Amino acid sequence: MVNISKKMAALLAMATILVLAGSLPVAQADANGKKIMLEFKSATQIPGQVLQPGRYVFEAAGTQAGWNVVKIYNQDGSSQITTLLAYQNPQLKNTGEPILFYPRHAGIPYPVMEGWFFDGDSAAQQWAYSDKMALKIGEANHTRIPTTGTEDVYPSTLPDAASSWTPPVTPAADQPLPQTASDLPTLALIGILFLLAAFVLRRISSKMARA
């Protein structure tokens, strides 16, 4: 009985570790130095301005306060257009398209760019919009999005990226809540239930064999 208790305690301890691990924030991969050319077929809203149709070079130029600093250049890289902030969001899955757009334009006359993927990345770079624009986009799409917290798209004092998001909004009836946490806690709890069930069945089988 002592040996069984020790084994169960060890298994429960391992399951607890999995639950705690699943609740920890996901560390962002370092995108510094990555570069990609993206082509826009129509005028597109990005933080602070509208990109006209054409090809542009997106380059990761370091990190600050959890943000990836991104510089945008013209097609041949001879002229820098702007410097913006992006958050590497693992919840935005790669669907095979290099550019992501918000489904609803929030009254903006152009498609609103949500983010993009650097080659080889499974997590998207999600733009941080200025405060008012982020609220407008977030409310229209019933989701939280990164924001600089000011009306500047690249403020001199940066907020912490992990906590600088628009407030929670009520999701649309046909739109599920965005996934914001790991599945590990749920899997660990399922694992605990299976272990307890196996233990009970083993005890019942043992008693039946002795009867």
Do 82 and 174 share a domain, yes or no?
A: yes
Asked if the model's pLDDT at residue 16 lies above 60, the reply is no
Q: What is the pLDDT of residue 191?
A: 63
- Residue 181 CA to residue 165 CA, distance in Å, equals 15
58 backbone dihedrals φ, ψ, rounded to 5°: -105, 125
What is residue 204's predicted lDDT score, i.e. its pLDDT? 64
- Shared domain for 83 and 156, answered yes or no, is yes
Residue 109 domain boundaries: 28-180
Please check whether residues 18 and 47 belong to one and the same domain.
no
Do 70 and 159 belong to one domain?
Answer: yes
- Domain shared by 71 and 140, yes or no: yes
Contact 15, 188 (CB under 8 A): yes
103 and 145 fall within a common domain = yes
CB 146 within 8 A of CB 126: yes
Burial class, 56, CB count within 10 angstroms (exposed 0-12 / middle 13-18 / buried 19+) = buried
pLDDT of 182 reads 43
Look at residue 95 in the predicted model and tell me its pLDDT: 82
β-sheet bridge partners, residue 126: 87, 115
- Beta partners for residue 58, in sequence order: 36, 72
* Mean pLDDT across 94-110: 92
**Percent helix / strand / coil, the chain, rounded to 5:** 30, 30, 45
Report the candidate in 10, 13, 18 with the shortest Cα–Cα distance to residue 184: 18
| pLDDT tens digit sequence for 155-173 | 999 999 999 999 987 765 5
Q: Specify the pTM.
A: 0.67
Instruction: Tell me, yes or no, whether 142 and 67 share the same domain.
Output: yes
What tens digit of pLDDT does each residue of 51-96 get? 999 999 999 999 999 999 999 999 999 999 999 999 999 999 888 8
Q: Quickly count: other Cβ atoms within 10 Å of residue 3's Cβ.
A: 7
